[in-house]
Structure 1
Amino acid sequence: MITSVGLLKQRRFLPLFVTQFLGAFNDNLFKNAMVFFATYEIYKSVEAETQFSAIATGLFILPFFLFSALAGQLADSYDKARIMRIIKMAEVLIMLVGATGIFIGNLPLMLVALVGMGIHSTFFGPIKYAIIPQHMAPDEVLGGTGLVEAGTYIAILGGTIAGGLLDPHVAAVAVVAVAGIGWFSSTHIPTAPPVTKLKLDWNIFRSSYRLIAATLHIKRLYLAIIAISVFWTIAAVLAVLFPPLVKNVFHAQKDVASVFLGIFSVGIAIGSVIINRLLKGKVSARYAPLSVLAMAIFVFDFYLSARGWSGTPENLATTREFLSMPGTWRVLLDLIMIAITGGMFVVPLYAFLTTTVDKSQTSRTVAANNIVNSAFMVFGSVGILGVTEVGVSVSDAILVVLLLCVISALCGWRLYQAEKAHEMDSTVSLD
């Protein structure tokens, strides 16, 4: 077995890692530049800011719900590396549209590009996980999955910070350049020919229903997908809340919102590495319930910090001023621990998806997961918007995340029990 870090030296993994890293970076550079522009330059009320943040999140997620089934069929039917190159070339074109929107300050055009990036990620997502067991040894799958997750969140950190700090015109040039480099990197991904050949069902609603029905009847897959979906609902809710929370509760400028999102990204990356070390390459949900219960504790403490925060609403604090305020380090510690425990929870579950089924079905399994994830995330984004619309404060809305953590813990526990039952049945059958 090659160590996780050792995989970064392998041609069967490094180009994939770089390609997905740049894609995640670009998604967040563009999305956050747009959201922060709207929050700090256009809208002047917490309701409008929360609404736009929720709309942007929902529009990005919607393609996952609509097109994941088709994406999974294509990925299982054709060479995955070739599809990746086509997808990355499309990203270049999408970012040209987005860059134009940034240059002329046209929010509708930016939203069109955001939907395009959602479609891009919809078709890329099933492949980046499904190609891992095709190129990795069985005891390298968890390490490879963990590196992809860690790399994704480090990229989110970079994109988030850049989106908040770069001049809009510089960001416009950057998103096109990064897309071009991502396409070049994709040309070096080794071939990954299909294990099967499917007759494609182009009816996205029928194919989505059939895919979900064919996947969720397997108990361990069902529990893993539900647990992942609840986790990403938590992430979606936090993504919606962070910009208005930072501005209206912590009374800070948009660069502090970038710090919040960045810390969250780094924390998940750290959690991805920690859980791989703890499990020593074994795909297991052993630590899932404990991880997400610990996450709930830090979410509650973050809520208490937000409720008790005092600041000057008239003058939004810079990052330096925010860091000098009493209680800031408690807030940041809560954030990074929420993310670390979240990473420890979710990474093994993705490895479950790619190792529980035959390699000919991995892309469709990940696609089914993405459909359910997106439905949960859209529900979470719209739901948190509804919660704030009926008069619940942005800080009190954090309690929704606490409830979701408890649900995640229950799902993780049931998955671990199903895992142990499966192992026991396998032992009995061998005897």
Structure 2
Amino acid sequence: MKGSLGLLRERRFLPLFITQFLGAFNDNLFKNAMVFFATYEIYNSVEAETQFSAVATGIFILPFFLLSALAGQLADSYDKARIMRIIKFAEICIMLVGAAGIFFKSIEMMLAALVGMGIHSTFFGPIKYAVLPQHLQPREVLAGTGLVEAGTYVAILCGTIAGGLISPNAAAIAVLVVAATGWVASLNIPSAPPAAKLDLDYNIFRASYRLIYGTLHIRRLFLAIMSISVFWTIAAILGVLFPPLVKNVFHAQKDVASVFLAIFSVGIAIGSIVINRLLKGRISARYSPASVLVMSLFVVDFYFAAAFWGADQAGPLLKTMDFLGTPGAWRILFDLGMIAITGGMFVVPLYAFLTTTVDKSQTSRTVAANNIVNSAFMVVGSVGILGVTTLGVGVAEALWVVFGLCLLSAWCGFQLYRAGDVPHDDEEGHVPHAGGH
């Protein structure tokens, strides 16, 4: 099996990696610059800050729910590389609106651009995983999936830090430069022609129903999609909670919120690499239940560290170095890092299940079906946690919802492991598919 990092020297992988890396970076640079601007310069109550964070998360996710079926059909019907180039050019246009919104401090324009980036990611998401079995050997798919996940979260790390540190005007320029660079990188992605041309169904609700129904009847896919969906619900809830948690519980400035999101991002990247080493390229849920159970323990410790946080709440908001000098800060950061590492170990093999359980002609639609279910779970999670905090539950106490979802994830992962690994046929050089629609 080719080492994971060895794929970064291959033209069949590197341009795709760079393209998706820059897309994830731009999403998070823009979103975090907008959320931090609203949290620290517009709103002045934990309820309003949590509400805006939830709304921003929800409208970014909504296109995944509505348009993923169409995105999957298009990706399986046309050359995936050509579609990626079109999508990346559209990102430049979207970021023109976003840059104007940042420059003029217009929440309406920034939210419109955020919706546009959600649509952009909806159409790009199925392709970045579905193209891997087309360009990589069977034993390279898990390594490629792990690198894509790791790259995504390193990009989130960089975008999160940049969104919290650079000025609004610098962010407006940066999102345009990154979008243009991503489009240039996409021009070098090798062709990935479709296996068959589909009759596109433009009725998004009927297409979504048929896609989900045709995918979830395969037991391994059902369990993998449920496991991934619960995990991303956890991530969405943590994303909603972090800004108000940092400001109102840890009494810290937005650069500390950037540190939280950055540690979460790089932790998942580390977990992605670790699980590939443990599994040695085999697509298996063997370690998933244990990973997420360990994750739940660190969630509990993170809650108690927050609940008994002893910093002075009367003074000015803490800067990063002041926060790090506060007793208990390193315990919080360690818990957060371990939550992310074990989360990465849990979720990466599950994406490999999606792209290797079905025939290559169906991979984009399979990932699209996953995105529809994921987005529905994430919207429910974002709205649900908003409802919980509106009812008077503190942002720290809301972490118990995350703990409960960790247990649900462990159960789903265990059921997937019992359903069996994806078999490899080394002599034939392909992964058998499970059939299905």
TM bin (shorter chain): over 0.9
Name the amino acid aligned to 1:418.
Answer: A
Matched residue, 1:360: 361
AA at the equivalent of 1:235: A
2:429 is matched with which residue?
Answer: none
Q: Distance in 2 between matches of 1:263 and 1:288?
A: 21
CA distance in 2, matches of 1:419, 1:29: 39
1:338-349 aligned at under 5 Å gives the runs 338-349=339-350
- RMSD of aligned C-alpha atoms? 1.1
Partner in structure 2 of residue 223 of structure 1: 223
Distance of 2:138 and 2:421 partners within structure 1:
19
What corresponds to 2:391 in structure 1? Answer: 390
Deviation at 1:377, TM superposition (A): 0.1
Letter in 1 for 2:304: L
Q: Match for residue 39 of structure 2?
A: 39
Note the residue ranges of structure 2 that are not aligned, 5 or more in a row: 425-431, 433-437
1:21-60 pair list within 5 angstroms: 21-60=21-60
Counterpart of 2:206? 206
- Identity of matched residues, %: 74
> What corresponds to 1:114 in structure 2?
114
Partner of 1:83: 83
Alignment of 1:268-347 (within 5 A): 268-314=268-314, 315-347=316-348
For residues 24-173 of structure 1, the aligned pairs below 5 Å read 24-173=24-173
Kept in 1: contact 2:149–2:348 (CA 8 A): yes
Provide the rounded CA distance (Å) in 2 between the counterparts of 1:249 and 1:227.
30
Pairwise CA distance, 1:419: 1.0
The alignment partner of 1:302 has SS state of helix
Deviation at 1:422, TM superposition (A): 8.6
**TM-score for both structures, normalised by structure 1:** 0.97
Alpha carbons of structure 1 residues 420 and 367: separation in structure 2 relative to 1, 3 Å:
closer
CA–CA distance in structure 2, aligned partners of residues 420 and 91 of structure 1: 37
Q: Is this contact kept in 1: 2:145–2:352, CA < 8 A? A: yes
Q: Which residue in the other structure is 2:246 paired with? A: 246
Letter in 2 for 1:353: L
How big is the shift at 1:310?
1.6
Q: Distance in 2 between matches of 1:25 and 1:221?
A: 29
| Alignment correspondent of 1:195 | 195
- How far does residue 311 in structure 1 lie from its aligned partner after superposition? 1.8
What per-residue deviation string (whole Å, max 9, x for no partner) do you get for residues 394-421 of structure 1? 1000100000000000000000001169
By how many angstroms is 1:113 displaced? 0.1
The 2-side partners of 1:233 and 1:341 are apart by: 16
- Give the superposition deviation at 1:224: 0.2
- Is 1:376 equivalent to 2:377 in the alignment? yes
Runs of at least 4 residues of structure 1 off by over 4 A? 420-423
| Structure 1 residue aligned with 2:184 | 184
| Paired residue secondary structure (1:316) | coil
For each residue in 1:130-186, what CA deviation from the matched residue of structure 2 results, as whole angstroms up to 9, or x when unmatched?
A: 000000000000000000000000000000000000000000000000000000000
Tell whether the 8 Å contact from 2:283 to 2:421 is kept in structure 1 after alignment.
no
Cα distance in structure 2, aligned partners of 1:122 and 1:196? 22
Change (3 A) 1:322 1:307: same
Cα distance in 1 for residues equivalent to 2:215 and 2:190: 28
Q: How many residues align?
A: 424
Name the CA distance, whole Å, in 2 between partners of 1:201 and 1:170: 42
Letter in 2 for 1:417: R
